Amino acid sequence: MSDIVTQVPHETDTASQPLERRRRAGGRGAERSRKPAGSKYLNLVNSLQKNVVLTPEALDDIHEASLTILEEIGMDIMLPEARERMKAAGADVTPGKDRVRFDRAMIMDYVGHAPKTFTMHARNPQRNVAIGGENLVFAQIASAPFVSDREGGRRAGNQEDYRKLVKLAQSYDIIHTTGGYPVEPIDIHASVRHLDCLSDMVKLTDKVFHCYSLGQQRNLDGIEIARIGRGISMEQMEREPSLFTIINSSSPLRLDGPMLQGIIEMSARNQVVVVTPFTLAGAMAPVTIAGAVVQQNAEALCGIAFTQMVRKGAPVMYGGFTSNVDMKTGAPAFGTPEYMKAVIAGGQLARRYGIPYRTSNTNASNTLDAQAAYESALSLWALTQGGGNFIMHAAGWSEGGLTASFEKFILDVDMLQMVAEFLTPLDVSQDALALDAVRDVGPGGHYFGTAHTLARYETAFYSPILSDWRNFETWTEAGRPTTYDHANRVFKDVLNKYERPPLDLAIEEELDAFVARRKAEGGVPTDF
Amino acid sequence: MSDIVTQVPHETDTASQPLERRRRAGGRGAERSRKPAGSKYLNLVNSLQKNVVLTPEALDDIHEASLTILEEIGMDIMLPEARERMKAAGADVTPGKDRVRFDRAMIMDYVGHAPKTFTMHARNPQRNVAIGGENLVFAQIASAPFVSDREGGRRAGNQEDYRKLVKLAQSYDIIHTTGGYPVEPIDIHASVRHLDCLSDMVKLTDKVFHCYSLGQQRNLDGIEIARIGRGISMEQMEREPSLFTIINSSSPLRLDGPMLQGIIEMSARNQVVVVTPFTLAGAMAPVTIAGAVVQQNAEALCGIAFTQMVRKGAPVMYGGFTSNVDMKTGAPAFGTPEYMKAVIAGGQLARRYGIPYRTSNTNASNTLDAQAAYESALSLWALTQGGGNFIMHAAGWSEGGLTASFEKFILDVDMLQMVAEFLTPLDVSQDALALDAVRDVGPGGHYFGTAHTLARYETAFYSPILSDWRNFETWTEAGRPTTYDHANRVFKDVLNKYERPPLDLAIEEELDAFVARRKAEGGVPTDF
């Protein structure tokens, strides 16, 4: 079976929903028993045989080189508490200095405690996502400073657009989780931004969400909001990871204070940490892809090992984000052949360690043109063939991540759905082989009106959101719309049809009270 | 080695160039000893592990079902001479009737004589292409009735645009052969069109070309023009296949007279036949992809077996062109998830039979927008992962093949080069692993100015033709060009820089004399 596409629905964990919540939710038990309207793309499985770009020997070489970096060069660990925990775990720590070195066996011992698979729990159990193995999970774009649509152009992130983008994420089942703030709403003061944004995540979606590791209090507030949203106890939340955080290293070879604090707060409570070095070859990593992957791997293993020093068995992902820069200008490049190789190499490393693999759907185009599509399609090719489990920035990423594009979101949703359709098994039943239909039609006929066709045509093929298959004349009469035009129309239609997912009144009240109290306390301290 | 990308240069057969030609060519011996300027993308090898969508059992089922079609239903063979040859080979032929049925063992016996690999010989031996195995060959778009560029819009095919497109094919090494007439020049009378067009193929390019199977005389003229272009004897031409023809079945389950005649003329002289059923699921084939592939396979096996009835060992390819239609309108769809599965299934069948696999780079967009790019990228994904050997319509195909687009040609060239770069092996030498560079830079530095970077940055990464990686502000100052704008500029630049490849004066004179004589004879009879 290893060489055939199969669809193996995974455990959706509805049994794990707390009894008290089912009682308080009243009618929700009945609702939960039927599938939501658009549930076709939940629980994606990628059973393709994965590609490799590294021989077993090269994989060993990269692994050993990254351990040599950790052992001989070390990393700058910019938080005293983290260094103390590392020292206690056996790392080489010099008092008063950031530089920490790690014995290779010690690193691998801790990495070995990370779980191969786990489930992230949403407030709607149908939205739970299985992480690792052959599971494929798509998360919306995160952290863009700008937002754009065709009419409004490119503008700074703001709450209104933030909410619209979150609503779009809720509207498509192929978007399994949000990925952070799709755009940074700078019109909300930084001291309370996380309170408003995460409260919106609970209210506007019923999917798993992310909290930023920007200081201990934001992590604690995020954990509390996720707990309230699910209506569960902290003990249950510790058993059922429900929130994730992205930990980026400050490449090369540094982990800063807020990121280390984020690992401590999240891993200690068994929440999900995604360790993602951002290693652009030729900028903050060596100019060779192999060298950049070595550095990526060193930084990832250090962060992953630290999660296990904090709590053995805490859920963690191996993140890869190695790409190249345009050596003429230093600008980052994405969706390139080099990116494809780095994505596949990262998958080989993650599988070697038995840790779920996070990667991204990237492109560097400034608009929704052919470049935006081919760079994203090459990214999707590589991450699908390379065994990505958790795909950040899966929809909406434009301009190398600087802009969340409403139209690009729709384009990406269409492409993600095509990937999902490609991954569904081909029907090879005797009925599908259609010998009887061929007998009926015979040489020289056609199949438009046959019984075999009529019984199947409505659902035989994927019906794309954007592709315009009209003939040239009809398309010309329609004003020659491009994919950009179609995407512009569709995102507005979808926003008009958006409906909030059901939320218990008791939960909403508890959430509002928490946010109000924390705002009254001043949120978190900021320096502006 | 089966799971690692390797680059194995294949035999380029320079030794096979005839001695007399080398003498007559004078200085060309020296020229041949150096690589042409842009020879990076000659001799592509795809050593990726291939994907499958069929279990071994399903592959057997499709194989057996297609043989059952040939045995029980049969094909309409619309040429008496072909039926006579089939009868002599053991097929079930009824005098005066088109329908022919084939014993399954007989079909497989003939198919077994087809060669696994062969070389197509160009007039410039550096342009020879190895077909089959892990070789990957890209051929330009063929047979579009319309042509377009941004300024000129969409117009009927004509000689001027024909020549420009052939010049573009010559200008990029990633385009290994032309694929037919990139656009049909209807301003040349059909009786002599093939003479002018194929003469141009010899003069404007030094690559392998195609002749249409539209009646015996056109095949004979094409063979003679290819022979003259190479400056060789007919005996040598028979030893060295130098010309190819596409044989499309008239699906379902028919082979028409000109196509059968083409097999007879080409296979008898050991020239290359590409048997390609055009099986749109839901139109001329069953609405299920598995059923359409069964029918494709039946038609392909029949055509392939016939080549071997004509001449055992004659070079032949297995062509797959199964896609779906838009069931709302009946319009053909390309680059869809269904197309991807059909391409990969076709690759499994071709490998089962040990016959080189022809497939296509497709899309159905009416313009150069995101759709054009994502449908093409999904096609390239499938044909690369599915083991396509000979890729028709690799560059320039627009609007489902109705239009040859100058801008799409450039977009495709860029994407093909990215595929080629992806397929080159990752450098994992100790030097590439870059441990010394990491030591030099250490935590917190950057790699822009290091010796390791400076020694490599100019050639470290693929430099795309079209991707615009400037930042938003610079791009805005430049007028916000899209991929379409860049492609429009590039194709004109490339045409301005085009130079004819060297051609012996003696050959050119012989070619012109042949064309003049055949024109004086009236070319070939037409009914208009």
* Tokens 């022979």, located at residue: B227
Nearest to A287 among B99, B444, B456 (CB): B456
Per-residue pLDDT at B330? 84
Least CA distance to A422: which residue of chain B?
B337
Helix (H, G, I), strand (E, B) or coil at A203: helix
Is A162's pLDDT higher than 80?
yes
Q: What are the tens digits of pLDDT across the range A245-260?
A: 999 999 999 999 999 9
Contact by Cβ (8 Å): B265, B220: yes
Residue B330 has which token pair? 């009946």
Contact between A292 and A280 (Cβ < 8 Å): yes
Residue A23 has pLDDT above 70, yes or no: no
Q: What angle do CA A496, A499, A504 make, to 5 degrees?
A: 160
Contacts of B250 in chain A (CB under 8 A): 444
- Helix, strand, coil abundance in chain B, percent, nearest 5: 45, 15, 40
pLDDT exceeds cutoff 70 at A8: no
How far is it, in rounded angstroms, from Cα B188 to Cα B73? 41
Contact B99 A62 (CB under 8 A): no
User: pLDDT band at residue A528, thresholds of 50, 70 and 90?
Assistant: low
Whole-complex ipTM: 0.93
Tell me the chain A residues in contact with residue B429 when contact means C-beta distances shorter than 8 Å. 290
Which residues of chain A are within 8 Å of residue B409 when distances are taken between CB atoms?
A: none
Residue A330, pLDDT score: 84
Judged by CB atoms closer than 8 Å, whether chains meet at A433 and B290 is answered as yes
Instruction: Burial-class residue A362 by CB neighbours within 10 Å (0-12, 13-18, 19+).
Output: buried
CA distances from A124 to A45, A141, A229, A289, B9 (A): 20, 21, 10, 41, 55
Which residue of A278, A284, A369, A456 is the best one to mutate when testing the B interface, meaning the one whose CB has the most B CBs within 10 A? Answer: A369
- Sheet containing strand B209-210, edge to edge, reads B44-45, B135-138, B390-392, B357-360, B316-319, B272-275, B243-247, B209-210
- The pLDDT assigned to A245 comes to 98
User: Cα separation of A374 and A335, whole Å?
Assistant: 8
Helix (H, G, I), strand (E, B) or coil at A154: strand
Residue with tokens 């590589």: A382
Q: By CA distance, what is B77's nearest residue in A?
A: A443
- B contacts of A370 (beta carbons < 8 Å): 368-370, 372-373, 411, 466, 482-484, 487
Alpha helix segments (H runs only) across A191-327: 193-204, 216-230, 234-239, 257-268, 289-310
pLDDT band at A38 (very low <50, low <70, confident <90, very high): low
Candidates A409, A435, A448, A488: best to mutate against B (most CBs of B within 10 A) is: A435
Residue A177 is given by DSSP the state B
What are the sequence ranges of the domains in chain B? Answer: 45-423
Question: What pLDDT was estimated at residue B15?
Answer: 34
What amino acid occupies position B317? Answer: M
Out of B55, B295, B345, the one facing A438 most closely (by C-beta) is B295
CA distance A486 to A498: 18
Tell me: pLDDT of A218 over 80: yes
Q: How confident is the model over A384-405, as pLDDT tens digits?
A: 999 999 999 999 999 999 999 9
Of the candidates A255, A257, A21, A8, the one whose C-alpha atom is nearest the C-alpha of residue A124 is A21
The pTM is what? 0.93
Least confident of A142-151, A284-293, A518-527, B246-255: A518-527
Among A351, A289, A342, which residue's Cα sits nearest to residue A320? A342
**What's residue B526's pLDDT?**
83
| Model confidence pLDDT, tens digit, residues A288-303 | 999 999 999 999 999 9
Mutation target for B interface from A339, A428, A470: give the one with most B CBs within 10 A.
Answer: A428
Whats the size of chain A, residue-wise? 528
Residue A365 to residue B425, Cβ atoms within 8 A: no
pLDDT digits (tens, 9 = 90+) for A467-490: 999 999 999 999 999 999 999 999
d(CA B344, CA B350): 10
Does the pLDDT at position A19 exceed 60? no
pLDDT over 80 at A281, yes or no: yes
Quick one: CA dihedral B392, B396, B399, B401, positive or negative?
A: negative
For residue B241, whether the previous peptide bond is cis, meaning omega lies within 30 degrees of 0, is: no
Ordered per-residue pLDDT tens for chain B, 528 residues: 333 333 333 333 333 333 333 333 333 333 333 444 468 999 999 999 999 999 999 999 999 999 999 999 999 999 999 999 999 999 999 999 999 999 999 999 999 999 999 999 999 999 999 999 999 999 999 999 999 999 999 999 999 999 999 999 999 999 999 999 999 999 999 999 999 999 999 999 999 999 999 999 999 999 999 999 999 999 999 999 999 999 999 999 999 999 999 999 999 999 999 999 999 999 999 999 999 999 999 999 999 999 999 999 999 999 999 999 997 888 999 999 999 999 999 999 999 999 999 999 999 999 999 999 999 999 999 999 999 999 999 999 999 999 999 999 999 999 999 999 999 999 999 999 999 999 999 999 999 889 999 999 889 999 999 999 999 999 999 999 999 999 999 999 999 999 999 999 999 999 999 999 999 999 998 865
Amino acid at A364: A
Residue A408 CB partners (closer than 8 Å, separation 6+):
A368, A372, A395, A396, A397, A398, A487
* Distance of alpha carbon A521 from alpha carbon A192, whole angstroms: 10
For residue A154, which residues of chain B lie inside 8 Å, CB to CB? 472
User: For the residues of B491-504, what is the DSSP string, one character each?
Assistant: HHHHHHH--PPP--
CATH architecture of residue range(s) A45-423:
Alpha-Beta Barrel (3.20)
Per-residue pLDDT at A31: 35
For B14, other C-beta atoms within 10 Å of its C-beta total 12
